[in-house]
Amino acid sequence: MRRPSNFAFSTYDSFINEVQDDASISWRKRKKHFFILSHSGKPIYSRYGDEHKLAGFSATLQAIISFVENGGDRVNLIRAGKHQVVFLVKGPIYLVCISCTEEPYMSLRGQLELLYNQMILILTRSVNRCFEKNAKFDMTPLLGGTDVVFSSLIHSFSWNPATFLHAYTCLPLAYAIRQSSGAILQDVADSGVLFAILMCKHKVISLVGAQKASLHPDDMLLLSNFVMSSESFRTSESFSPICLPRFNPMAFLYAYVHYLDGDTYLTLLTTSSDAFYHLKDCRIRVENVLLKSNVLGEVQRSMVDGGMRIEDLPDDRGSRSGAVSSHLGQPGHATYSSERFDEAFLGVGGPAGLWHFIYRSISLDQYVSSEFSSPINSRRQQKRLYRSYQKIYASMHEEGIGPHKTLFKRDDNYVLLCWVTPDFELYAVFDPLADKALAIKTCNRVCQWIKDVENEIFLLGASPFSWWTDPGNTPLPEFAEISL
Amino acid sequence: MPSRRRTLLKVIILGDSGVGKTSLMNQYVNKKFSNQYKATIGADFLTKEVQFEDRLFTLQIWDTAGQERFQSLGVAFYRGADCCVLVYDVNSMKSFENLNNWREEFLIQASPSDPENFPFVVLGNKVDIDGGNSRVVSEKKARAWCASKGNIPYFETSAKEGTNVEEAFQCIAKNALKSGEEEEIYLPDTLDVGASSQPRTSGCEC
């Protein structure tokens, strides 16, 4: 069996997977394993090691799952010391994560769901029919060359908040610039394109859908991961069958992908398998407009300038009109310091010990996070911060007792302040010695700031498919409302 | 892509307890034999790479427990097998007579798409014992049974001496391969645009 497509994936991933099996110490030492296998125990994917060398291990996993299933039950989680083994059964496809990272069960399960949907994006759920016809069906040839897509998704589980927030993020741009790119995308969408998406790395510049068609943030995450991780998209214009699992898991769409520069790429999705030349024409039109209105130049500038910096948080509400890309803010309120962090934190960070924040707009399905600044400098600190957000998000949304409205938590590393309303969620991280009242006040200032610059940091109502209410009419809660 | 095109074959080994299933597998995979009997609990899994007609295969061998109390594991274990190996002890009539039950049980539980032509291989093990003097099942009798079940390939083996083990597993690999060869084009539907607008569930689904 083979996939009907013009794939030319690079296979450098096979070099990374040096010969490892379940007996090798380096394999056992890995902190987080992911496996995909079939219901007959045949390996489909393993993050580390060679799937074929792990055939015995894969069989063991199937035996465990099937043994519990035989008793009319289902195994979700096994705890063994520091390790968690999380199972997800999707018809004939079994997914397993073995982790000692202390991430919440809910997060790991969400990651398995994304991994499954990444596979569906490549093959559609019609693959189930192959198993119905033939239980011993071997899927690995169908996924040939896609290891790197899965590996890159798994890597994003440790840095990309979109993987647990189920929201996308935009590249900060002047309103007019985003509007003009939206207009040309709308123009091509009207000519029979289902979705037109312009992105820079994992950030959206603009996107437009045909009448009534809507794109789920998870699908955007998986699509952009697929495009960015597959080297062949970078080198030429490509046309490939893909499936959007949240849109329709059973059927293929066709994606025309073209990189406009090193990081910026246009994806046009259609239902027609012979639309390549039409989409190519569409791309040329889009590209011309983007060049003429200097959108690509602005994109480059925004990439260099970065997004919101906590040092730029305005003093109090209304004191500045706020232009995020200009970074006109004061050099930071270095009044707060603690001896413990003297070296790491030379007068940087935001006011009141604010270190970082993530704001998620519920109606827009979008989030914005501040740039990392001191003391969250190293990759290790950023990963630790990320894990804290992930954990706190899970506990705020825990089934049964959640969602909580507010939470103030102080531990050895941070003060975490969470605020969940029907309109937005704010997660803010402060210095562990931050004052509570001041932190609350600062959160309100962050919300006001976001409102001031929302035109630039979010994609607002550019197309008919996002059914949000005009944020101008959403009253922003006063800071008195957050009482803990 | 072509470099990674390796086929994995799932092979199930069935037979009464004590006939030497685990020993055969150990002899085949590790070239080792031990006289000590250690009952298999549930199932053991071993892998072995084999080359056949210039292609590389991985055999995923499911060495199951022979005791009746493990037979409830049936469906879970047998699903998607590419070949089933039935083992008996030539010195035990009972273990030979039970081959029929094992075969039928397998076909019921695994429900392969073409049961008539599902590849089995029969191994008569322990031919070394007592120089063959304690043998109770004759080769003729065994071959007759195999012939009656659609010409199942038959081998007389000794896990202890390594007799015929390599040959038997070569045959097993060959037959497993034969059963999985049909190639098809994978062609899911393309989205019908008329019916494309689906209601979306908004927000987070956690």
Give the CATH number of the domain where residue B39 resides: 3.40.50.300
Determine the distance in angstroms separating the CA of A271 from the nearest CA of chain B, rounded to an integer. Answer: 6
Residues of A within 8 A of B46 (CB-CB) are 56
What is the helix (H) or strand (E) element at residue A427, kind and residue range?
A: strand A424-430
Using the beta-carbon criterion (under 8 Å), do A254 and B190 form an inter-chain contact?
Answer: yes
Structural domain range at position B76 = 7-184
Residue A33, φ and ψ in degrees, nearest 5: -105, 145
Which chain B residue shows the shortest CA-CA distance from A272? B190
How many whole angstroms separate alpha carbon A204 and alpha carbon A423?
Answer: 21
Question: CA-nearest residue of chain B to A64?
Answer: B76
The pLDDT, as a whole number, for residue B195 is 45
> CB A362 to CB B203 under 8 A?
yes
Q: Give the per-residue pLDDT at A454.
A: 94
What total of structural domains would you count in chain B?
1
Q: Are A271 and B193 a contacting pair, CB within 8 Å?
A: yes
Question: What pLDDT is attached to residue B56?
Answer: 85
At A254, the amino acid letter reads Y
Q: Is the pLDDT of residue A334 over 50?
A: no
pLDDT of amino acid B2? 40
CB burial of A323-361 (b: ≥16 within 10 Å; e: otherwise) equals ebbeeebeebbeebeeeebeeebeebbbbbbbbbbbbbb
User: A424-430 and A415-420 as β-strands: parallel, antiparallel, unpaired?
Assistant: antiparallel
Q: What is the DSSP string of A213-265?
A: ----HHHHHHHHHHHHH-THHHHS-EEEEE--TTT-TTSBEEEEEEESSSSEE
Q: Tell me whether residue B66 is in a domain.
A: yes
B206 part of a folded domain: no
pLDDT > 70? residue A19:
no
Q: Which residue do the tokens 């992911």 mark? A: A34
pLDDT higher than threshold 50 for residue A254: yes
Query: E strands along A81-175, which residues?
Result: 83-90, 93-99
Smallest Cβ–Cβ distance between A40 and the set B58, B79, B191 belongs to: B79
Q: Which of B60, B192, B196 sits opposite A41 (nearest CB)?
A: B60
Q: What pLDDT sits at residue A470?
A: 40
Single-letter amino acid, residue A242: I
Residue B199 within any structural domain of the chain: no
Residue B68 lies in a domain: yes
pLDDT, position A327: 42
Question: Nearest-CA residue of chain A relative to B2?
Answer: A144
What pLDDT is stored for residue A165 in this prediction? 96
pLDDT score at A133: 84
What is the amino acid identity at position A140?
A: T
Of B1, B8, B203, the CB nearest to A43: B8
Interface contact B193-A40, CB threshold 8 A? no
Contact at CB, B188 and A252, closer than 8 angstroms: yes
> What interhelical angle do B21-30 and B165-179 show, nearest 10?
90
Residue in chain B nearest A124 by alpha carbon: B188
Residue A428 contacts residue A357 (beta carbons within 8 Å): yes
Is residue A206 within 8 A of residue A185, CB to CB? The reply is: yes
* Secondary structure letter of residue B130 according to DSSP: G
Question: Assign residue B131 a region: left if phi > 0, alpha if psi is -120 to 50, beta otherwise?
Answer: left
What DSSP element (H or E) covers B122? strand B120-125
User: Which of B196, B205, B206 has its CB closest to that of A271?
Assistant: B196
Cβ contact A361:A459 at 8 Å: no
Q: What is the DSSP string of B83-116?
A: EEEEEEETT-HHHHHTHHHHHHHHHHHH--S-GG
A338 CB contacts (<8 Å, ≥6 apart)? A345, A431, A433
More confident residue, A120 or A19: A120
Question: Residue B73: its pLDDT value, please?
Answer: 67
The closest CB to that of A63, out of B77, B80, B81, belongs to B77
Please say if the pLDDT value at position B38 is more than 90.
no
Rounded CA-CA distance A274/A133 in Å is 30
User: Across the interface, do B192 and A271 touch by the CB < 8 Å criterion?
Assistant: yes
Per-residue pLDDT of B140-156, as tens digits, reads 999 999 999 999 999 99
Q: What is the mean pLDDT of chain B?
A: 83
From the list B75, B77, B190, the residue facing A252 with the nearest CB is: B190
- Give the separation between CA A244 and CA A429, rounded to whole angstroms: 34
d(CA A358, CA A365): 13
Q: How far is CA A472 from the centre of its chain?
A: 27
In this complex, how many residue pairs, one in chain A and one in chain B, have their CB atoms less than 8 Å apart? 164
Q: Give me the CATH topology for the region A11-159.
A: Beta-Lactamase (3.30.450)
Residue A212's closest chain B neighbor by CA? Answer: B197
**Residue B189 in domain:** no
Question: ∠ at Cα B73 (B68, B75), nearest 5°?
Answer: 125
**Record: contact B206-A243, CB cut-off 8 A:** no
CATH class in words for A168-303: alpha beta
In-domain check, residue B19: yes
At A167, the amino acid letter reads A
Q: Do B3 and A11 touch (CB under 8 A)?
A: yes
Nearest partner of A463 among A164, A208, A290, judged by Cα? A208
Angle between helices A276-292 and A175-189 (to 10 degrees): 160
The Cα–Cα gap between A34 and A99 comes to 9
For A262-283, the pLDDT digits (tens) are 999 999 999 998 999 999 999 9
User: How far is the C-alpha of A373 from the C-alpha of A347, rounded, in Å?
Assistant: 11
Could you tell me which residues come within 8 angstroms of residue A20 by beta carbon, excluding any fewer than 6 positions away? A26, A27, A48, A49, A50, A53
Name beta bridge partners: B155. Answer: B123
Averaged pLDDT of chain A: 84
Using a CB-CB cut-off of 8 Å, the residues of chain B touching A9 are: 1
Option in A42, A142, A194 nearest B80 (CB): A42
| Residues B61-79 pLDDT 10s | 998 887 766 666 667 788 8
Q: How confident is the model at residue A400 (pLDDT cuts 50, 70, 90)?
A: low
Of A56, A196, A71, A469, give the one whose Cα is nearest residue B48.
Answer: A56
- Check pLDDT > 50 for residue B88: yes
B72:A136 CB<8 A: no
Please report residues of A whose CB lies closer than 8 A to that of B73: 63, 66-67, 70
**Cβ separation A41–B113 shorter than 8 A:** no
The token duo for B200 is 């979306």
User: Is residue A229 within 8 Å of A250, Cβ to Cβ?
Assistant: no
Q: Which of A173, A151, A30, A254 is nearest to A460 (CA)?
A: A173
Has residue A328 got a pLDDT over 50?
A: no
Q: What is the pTM of this model?
A: 0.85
Model confidence at A384, pLDDT cuts 50, 70, 90, reads very high
Which residues of chain A make contact with B107, given a CB cutoff of 8 A?
Answer: none
> Residue range A111-137: average pLDDT?
93
Sign of CA dihedral A40, A44, A45, A49: positive
| Contact list, B203 vs chain A (CB under 8 Å) | 166, 362, 365
The C-alpha atoms of residue A377 and residue B186 are separated, in whole angstroms, by 47
* Nearest by CB: A273 against B49, B190, B197: B190
From chain B, the residues in CB contact with A69 under 8 A are 76
The alpha carbon of residue B37 is apart from the nearest alpha carbon of chain A, in Å, by 22
DSSP state of A372: P
DSSP symbol at A405 = S
Would the CB atoms of B196 and A248 count as touching at under 8 Å? yes
Which residues on chain B are in Cβ contact (under 8 Å) with A138? Answer: 7-8, 180
Q: How many CB atoms lie within 10 A of CB A259?
A: 17
- Give me the phi and psi of A27, to 5 degrees please: -70, -45
Name the residue with higher pLDDT: B132 or B145: B145
Instruction: Report pLDDT for A276.
Output: 94
The two tokens of residue A94 are 């079994």
How distant, in Å, are the alpha carbons of A213, A473, B147, B154 from that of B141?
69, 89, 10, 11
Tell me, yes or no, if the two domains A168-303 and A307-457 fold the same way.
yes
**Residue in chain B lying closest to A66 (CA):** B76
Report yes or no on B56 lying in a domain.
Answer: yes
Query: Any idea which fold A307-457 has?
Result: Beta-Lactamase (3.30.450)
The shortest C-alpha distance from A361 to chain B (Å) reads 10
In a domain, B202, yes or no: no
Q: In chain A, which residue's Cα lies nearest the Cα of B200?
A: A214
Residue for token pair 């099937």: A66
pLDDT confidence of A316, banded at 50, 70, 90?
low
Pick the residue of A39, A136, A468 with the most B CBs within 10 A to test the interface with B by mutation.
Answer: A136
Tell me whether residues A52 and B186 touch, CB distance under 8 A: no
CB contact under 8 A, A138 and B8: yes
- Could you give the CA distance from residue A458 to residue A167 in angstroms, rounded to a whole number? 12
Q: Which chain A residues are Cβ-neighbours of B175 within 8 angstroms? A: none
Looking at the partner chain, which of B183, B188, B198 has a beta carbon nearest the beta carbon of A247? B198
Lowest mean pLDDT among A156-170, A335-349, B17-31, B45-59: A335-349
Q: What percent of chain B has pLDDT over 70?
A: 83
Which residues lie across from A358 on neighbouring strands? Answer: A369, A427
For residue B200, what pLDDT is reported?
Answer: 40
Which of A20, A39, A40 should be substituted to probe chain B, the one whose Cβ sees the most B Cβ atoms within 10 Å?
Answer: A40
B175 alpha carbon, distance to own chain's centre:
10
Domain range annotation of chain A = 11-159, 168-303, 307-457
